[in-house]
Structure 1
């Protein structure tokens, strides 16, 4: 099973009303077709209501830590954008360019 699909399945535990997972691996050094190492997650859930940013990230990490390199998995980087439904504007934040991106 692909990592992106695994991320999606595990994040369903947070009952998202909106979930978008973008594989941003192509914008990073060492990329080859099919590589899955850098992801951006945009997730909107009632679970995040009243929580500070770090608490929201902790909830996401609790679901996917085993997929991250530090937890023994293959994902090198995970950008998290977590919103409560009343905060979600529908805009997905832009990711910065990687210093080691292929030219």
Structure 2
């Protein structure tokens, strides 16, 4: 997949898994040019997601659920992923 297609693919996977009330996907790959992890062509992303499906989950469980939802993208297109995963009540 081309680097330009990655944010949309991440968004689609997370929307399908979590039906988020809010979702922001930011591609920060340009800030990591020359970084050892960027050499393989995979990207650096920040995700902020608000979903009712995170209710009752620990922060670690939420991150694991996001990684699972992204599946193969984690090995083919994403090098680094920063996650803020909250319930609607936490998001205020």
Q: TM-score, normalised by structure 1?
A: 0.73
For the pair 1:61 / 2:67, whether they are aligned, the reply is: yes
Aligned to 1:40: 46
> What's the offset of the Cα at 1:29?
3.0
Return the alpha-carbon distance in structure 1 between the equivalents of residues 42 and 8 of structure 2. 11
Return the alpha-carbon distance in structure 2 between the equivalents of residues 62 and 36 of structure 1. 18
Larger helix proportion of the pair = 2
The answer as to whether partners of 1:4 and 1:36 remain within 8 angstroms in 2 is no
Q: TM-score, normalised by structure 2?
A: 0.82
Larger strand proportion of the pair = 2
Q: How many correspondences in the alignment?
A: 83
Return the alpha-carbon distance in structure 2 between the equivalents of residues 40 and 9 of structure 1. 15
Deviations 1:27-85 (A, max 9, x none): 11328xxx76000000000000111001101111111021013xxx1211011110000
| Rg larger in structure | 1
> What's the offset of the Cα at 1:86?
0.4
Of 85, 88, 102, the match for 2:88: 85
Q: How does 1:89-100 map to 2 (within 5 A)?
A: 89=92
Unaligned runs of 5+ in 2: 36-40
Q: Secondary structure at the match of 1:51?
A: coil
